[in-house]
Structure 1
């Protein structure tokens, strides 16, 4: 009996060790821990003035005005400034586009302002520009701030939105004056439980939530970690970046804001935010080629940057191309790439931001 018990324990220990070993190998595969990328720069790029501590998300209006969220403080990522986050605006039609800090009026607590994903909505009835900003005033808290953009450099805070389903918001796409979709990038607040859930057990408990004043519900789920989200120029489709699954998921918007899954496109990288060319419908993705370097952050071996474009995403054979690659010596931890009329703005989690010519 004692011998059998020892045998069973040995078998259990061996099986458990084998499982942990397989999950460790899977973890390294998921985070692309061994991946190295070559350098592929665009011909003409320069750093944007005034942006020193990251521009995690960027969105551009059709008239060339770009909004940037800066200074994000996020779990596991380095931060090199103790100042609160800020919002900037940049006119891409200006001969020398330069980010200008936006004044924020209203009752928002600016001392804890920590902007993350952003989205702009232009009301067709009166052309009023509404800016939606994901805000994390405390660690593991999420709320949505809605602003009215006025004059040249001012945001007027209109409303703060909180809800139990908006529990770990990463990015947002506005579809109305007070309605939007958001991605929740985790299920558990606790970092240890989150790592266990996603990276060890491989649970797909991340989701997309639809919010309106009349209804709040989960619109899509089953993601490893839903991150960036955006919409097609004709507003028929919603795109979601599943950063850990290395793919972009495509959904069709139907009556009643129902999302119907259509397809997934593999991108081979840890892609963060999604921006869409308003003319061509091409998707531009800011990606992390190796998240081990991102999380470990060694200045001697910095995290790189990767910009990916998806052309003809709704065809049977979308074209996925690497448009920019850097080993972190020029640009660290790219999170977003926003195109406009032959120019490309590239933002990062905690480093600088760049403007490049595509022509």
Structure 2
């Protein structure tokens, strides 16, 4: 009997070891650990003043671009102890240069840690509101600002809610309302790692307004970037470790109904949408293993993808920019504007490019 128990125990241990080994192989697949990105450059130069990343960038129809910089994110490199900052850039200027935005109001700037951003223009009076995901002490909250003059943000409101527990990105749909992605289920890194290797889809998208807060889409593995179509009918979500862009249709009551997924073959971060063509632009991590195991001798690369005709039967996914990390490390966002392109990163620099 004792011998039988030992055999069974040995079999169980071997089976468990095989299972864990399989899951680690799957994790390497998720992170695209063996992928080497082909280099494809544009006519680009570094943006002045941006030295520690521009994790998210969004552009208004008039060419004003907003940048969130200096993100400190658990598990990823950070090369500055200073608080994060916001910048504005005029893409209609002959030599666009980021200008630091002065933040006025009651916000604690010493712990400001900006992540995803979204801009909303109120059609009633053309006021511009900037929504910023903020992680002071690695918590999650959303700040709402009003953009005034040329270089000033007025802090209006801080939003906290139990459903907004791990916010990555937002898209504003009103002066106080937005959709937000929760990119992880557990704050504990060990538990979250188990969620990833067990392939559990526990994350969600939340709709927030002053009148209600609720989950409007669920069953996602790691929703990251989020944005909206020019006609406001569709919401796009990057499920980053699924290597897909999910398309949802907005319906009455701000419900989201799943429409389709578009495979992109990369770990795509933030989403920007060309306001004229509707093309979807993605800042992506071609090999996330190099990002999580940062080595300056073998840096994480950058990749920009574009999806044309995303609502058609055959959306076209094209590679627009790629680098092996020698020019730009860890791209997170690609924001187009009338033949120009801004590319941001987690912790490195940002590029201003001309599209062919």
Q: What is the TM-score of this pair, normalised by structure 2? A: 0.99
Deviation per CA, 1:27-54, whole angstroms, max 9, x where unpaired?
1000111111111101x10100000000
What corresponds to 1:115 in structure 2? 114
1:274 aligns with 2:259: no
What corresponds to 2:158 in structure 1? 160
Separation in 2, partners of 1:318, 1:237: 15
Deviation at 1:7? 1.8
3-state SS of paired residue (1:80): coil
Separation in 1, partners of 2:297, 2:31: 20
Show structure 2 runs of 5+ residues with no match. none
3-state SS of paired residue (2:348): coil
CA RMSD of aligned residues (A): 0.6
Runs of 4+ in structure 1 displaced over 3 angstroms?
none
What corresponds to 2:33 in structure 1? 33
Separation in 2, partners of 1:321, 1:16: 41
3-state SS of paired residue (1:138): helix
Deviation per CA, 1:211-265, whole angstroms, max 9, x where unpaired?
0111101110111100000000000000000000000000000000000000000
Show structure 1 runs of 5+ residues with no match. none
Separation in 2, partners of 1:159, 1:328: 38
Separation in 1, partners of 2:294, 2:4: 48
Deviation at 1:284? 0.3
Deviation at 1:10? 1.7
Number of residues of Structure 1 aligned to a counterpart in Structure 2 = 356
3-state SS of paired residue (1:10): helix
What corresponds to 2:177 in structure 1? 179
Q: What is the TM-score of this pair, normalised by structure 1? A: 0.98
Matches within 5 A, 1:31-180: 31-42=31-42, 44-139=43-138, 141-180=139-178
Separation in 2, partners of 1:195, 1:25: 14
Separation in 1, partners of 2:318, 2:312: 15
